[in-house]
Amino acid sequence: MTLDFSWLLDPLYQTWLLRGIGTTILLSLLGMVLMFVIGIVGAALLHLKVRFLQSPVTIFVELFRNTPPLVQLFFLYFMLSEIGLTLTDPVTGGRIPLFTGFTCVVLSLGLYNGAIAVEIIRSGLLAVPAQTVEGARSLGYSRLQTFRHVELPIGLRMSIPPMTSNIVSLIKTSSQAVLVAVADIMYGATQIMLETFRNLEVMLLIWVIYLAIASLAVLVVRRIAAAFRIPGYGS
Amino acid sequence: MTHHRHSQQSAPLIEMRDVHKSFGANAVLNGVSLSVRDGGVVCIIGPSGSGKSTILRCINGLMSIDRGTIRVGSFAVETLKSDKALVPLRHQVAMVFQQYNLFPHRTVLQNLTMAPVQVLGEKPAAVRERALALLAKVRLTGKQDAYPGELSGGQQQRVAIARALAMQPNVILFDEVTAALDPEMVSEVLNVIRDLAREGMTCVLVTHEMRFAQEVADEVFFTDRGVIVEHGPPGTLFQNPTDPRLKAFLEKVL
């Protein structure tokens, strides 16, 4: 068996791959933003025991954490296109669908990994010592101020290790974008395979690319964790 | 230091009357009454589980009470329910804890300045200056940029006292503040408290340091099973205890 990577020299394939990498990274970054918003808001509502909102958050978490992300993506894609919300393009005046495949992938990543993030951040908040909270309360901090200035900053730091694997999971899950026709790295790879039939070589490359993106993400998180490390605290 | 203590006749700064508190079926306070005058130094002693720490937490509203009244200055503590209503009380009554309860993610200086700025809305520059002076007072000049986790227990507890002082309170509650310290660090913390007591700060201490209680307190309260069994000036209480429970307790600890 000989591996043939000569197709890599084709500028068209290079463009597909590079655009695909860009799309994958953009999907992941936007998904992460949504994941963090959902994770922090959800964990806050549960932690602060906000009346009437606790049960909906719990149902949301169970629903999105315990079902396959692909099922969620297809559901979102077909349900939202059914609703058929459109935007008017300011340049051409044409109607474009509000929920494109791209939007649906970002939403699905944010919801799926956000549901997991709720639980991760919540356990981080629970790891903040009760004494630290009592110290804040004794100084006049309200429940909300205590959360914002004491529990959240410490709890988020505590949630970094499990959050790192959640971020990697999000990057990997973004590869299902290809299934709703978003031109991510997997999409580019599929196109190249269809034209060259070098399936093994293309998949080897894709494997390496995902590994590189995920490793880069882990590296960035490590830098952030180091920058926010609390001297002399914990391990 | 020859600060004037306020006259004995003035109305007490803290007054608890017939305070009851239970946790589920477990009654912790069964009718506690005590008063502390402005500038007074009061020690609460007693066996563990007798409700000493609960008394302190009721005074600053960290715990609500089931029955009775607590007055601190002009505040009727049992009527303060919301976080907002409790802010003026916590401004006046600061607390120092056994486990220091510092903010681990903030520097020593930030631990002192956070609450005055974020809760009381004071100007950061003025608070910072006051905080640095307080660090000097507790002999921690130069440690302002350290994090609590980088300090010894005795140093952390002195930061906690400075943090309490930064609120410019009228009263400080001390909850077994030397109980978690290594023996050689106890005196550095007690020295700071002794200075405060001499300067006229109203102090309520729950403590197992009987010799210290004897030295600094104007009045000592002995609690057992949720009631004040006996109270009086330290000389009387330690030398001529009348209640058999107090006698038994003192035999064990002295």
Question: pLDDT tens, B126-155?
Answer: 999 999 999 999 999 999 999 999 999 999
User: Residue A96 phi/psi, 5° resolution?
Assistant: -120, 145
Express as a percent the part of chain B with pLDDT over 90: 91
User: CA A173 to CA A180: how far, in whole Å?
Assistant: 13
User: CA B151 to CA A42: how far, in whole Å?
Assistant: 35
pLDDT(B1) > 60: no
Nearest to B101 among A134, A142, A149 (CB): A134
pLDDT(A189) > 50: yes
User: CA A20 to CA B188: how far, in whole Å?
Assistant: 64
Question: What local confidence, expressed as pLDDT, does residue A99 receive?
Answer: 80
pLDDT band of residue B254 (cuts 50, 70, 90) is confident
DSSP conformation letters of B36-51: E-TT-EEEEE--TTSS
Nearest to B57 by CA among B85, B16, B12: B16
Nearest to A137 by CA among B208, B86, B58: B86
SS3 A26: helix
Q: Chain A contacts of B54, Cβ < 8 Å?
A: none
Average pLDDT score over residue span B34-38: 95
Q: Chain B contacts of A137, Cβ < 8 Å?
A: 62, 90
Domain boundaries, chain A: 6-85+96-227
Mutate to test the interface with A, among B53, B57, B63, B105 (most CBs of A within 10 A): B105
Nearest to B115 among A129, A131, A139 (CB): A139
pLDDT band of residue B7 (cuts 50, 70, 90) is very low
- Buried/exposed code over A74-105 (b: 16+ C-beta within 10 A; e: otherwise): bebbeebbeeeeeeeeeeeeeeeeebbbbbbb
Question: What local confidence, expressed as pLDDT, does residue B10 receive?
Answer: 67
Nearest to B147 among A138, A150, A232 (CB): A232
Nearest to A142 among B83, B91, B120 (CB): B83
pLDDT band of residue B5 (cuts 50, 70, 90) is very low
Average pLDDT score over residue span B170-185: 93
Cβ atoms of A21 and A212 within 8 Å: the answer is no
Interface list for B 136-165 with A (CB within 8 A): 146-151, 160, 163
State the nearest Cα–Cα gap between A234 and chain B, in angstroms: 9
Nearest to B92 by CA among B180, B212, B172, B197: B172
B59 Rama class: left (phi>0) / alpha (psi -120 to 50) / beta: alpha
Average pLDDT score over residue span B207-224: 93
User: CA A206 to CA A191: how far, in whole Å?
Assistant: 13
User: CA B140 to CA A21: how far, in whole Å?
Assistant: 54
Express as a percent the part of chain B with pLDDT over 70: 96
CATH superfamily, domain A6-85+96-227, is: MetI-like (1.10.3720.10)
Nearest to B149 among A135, A141, A231 (CB): A231
Question: What local confidence, expressed as pLDDT, does residue B6 receive?
Answer: 47
CB-CB under 8 Å, B115 with A157? no
pLDDT band of residue B3 (cuts 50, 70, 90) is very low
Average pLDDT score over residue span A52-58: 94
Average pLDDT score over residue span A164-189: 95
Q: What mean pLDDT, rounded, does chain A reach?
A: 93
Average pLDDT score over residue span B62-90: 94
Q: Report how many Cβ contacts below 8 Å link chain A to chain B.
A: 81
User: Residue A181 phi/psi, 5° resolution?
Assistant: 60, 35
**pLDDT per residue as tens digits for the range A191-213:** 999 999 999 999 999 999 999 99
SS3 A206: helix
Identity of the residue numbered B117: V
Question: What local confidence, expressed as pLDDT, does residue A80 receive?
Answer: 80
Q: Chain B contacts of A136, Cβ < 8 Å?
A: 103, 115
Nearest CA in chain A to B84: A142
User: CA B46 to CA A76: how far, in whole Å?
Assistant: 64
CB-CB under 8 Å, B62 with A136? no
Identity of the residue numbered A115: A
Structure tokens at A169: 């999971």
End-to-end CA distance of chain B: 30
User: Residue B205 phi/psi, 5° resolution?
Assistant: -115, 125
Nearest to A141 among B105, B119, B151 (CB): B119
Q: Chain A contacts of B175, Cβ < 8 Å?
A: none
**pLDDT per residue as tens digits for the range A104-130:** 999 999 999 999 999 999 999 999 999
Question: What local confidence, expressed as pLDDT, does residue A58 receive?
Answer: 96
Question: What local confidence, expressed as pLDDT, does residue B9 receive?
Answer: 54
pLDDT band of residue A79 (cuts 50, 70, 90) is confident
Nearest to B118 among A137, A149, A154 (CB): A149
Cβ atoms of B156 and B79 within 8 Å: the answer is no
CB-CB under 8 Å, B84 with A142? yes
Question: What local confidence, expressed as pLDDT, does residue B4 receive?
Answer: 47
CB-CB under 8 Å, B167 with A139? yes
User: CA A161 to CA A221: how far, in whole Å?
Assistant: 9
**pLDDT per residue as tens digits for the range B43-65:** 999 998 889 999 999 999 999 99
Question: What local confidence, expressed as pLDDT, does residue B206 receive?
Answer: 96
User: CA B118 to CA B114: how far, in whole Å?
Assistant: 6
Question: What local confidence, expressed as pLDDT, does residue A1 receive?
Answer: 72
User: CA B141 to CA B121: how far, in whole Å?
Assistant: 25
State the nearest Cα–Cα gap between B245 and chain A, in angstroms: 32
Neighbours of A153 (CB within 10 A): 17
Average pLDDT score over residue span A65-86: 87
Structure tokens at B95: 């607390």
Average pLDDT score over residue span A9-31: 96
pLDDT(B225) > 70: yes
User: CA A55 to CA A50: how far, in whole Å?
Assistant: 10
User: Residue B101 phi/psi, 5° resolution?
Assistant: 55, 40
CB-CB under 8 Å, B101 with A131? yes
Average pLDDT score over residue span B214-224: 94
Q: Chain A contacts of B150, Cβ < 8 Å?
A: 231-232
Chain-centroid distance, C-alpha B174: 3
CB-CB under 8 Å, B105 with A157? yes
Give the dihedral sign, CA A137/B118/A39/A171: negative
CB-CB under 8 Å, B62 with A134? yes
Cβ atoms of B252 and B80 within 8 Å: the answer is no
Q: Which residues of A touch B (CB under 8 A)?
A: 129, 131-132, 134-145, 149-150, 153-154, 157, 230-233
Identity of the residue numbered B19: V
Structure tokens at B98: 């056994």
Which tops the pLDDT comparison, B4 or B94?
B94
CB-CB under 8 Å, B104 with A154? yes
Chain-centroid distance, C-alpha B91: 14
State the nearest Cα–Cα gap between B254 and chain A, in angstroms: 30
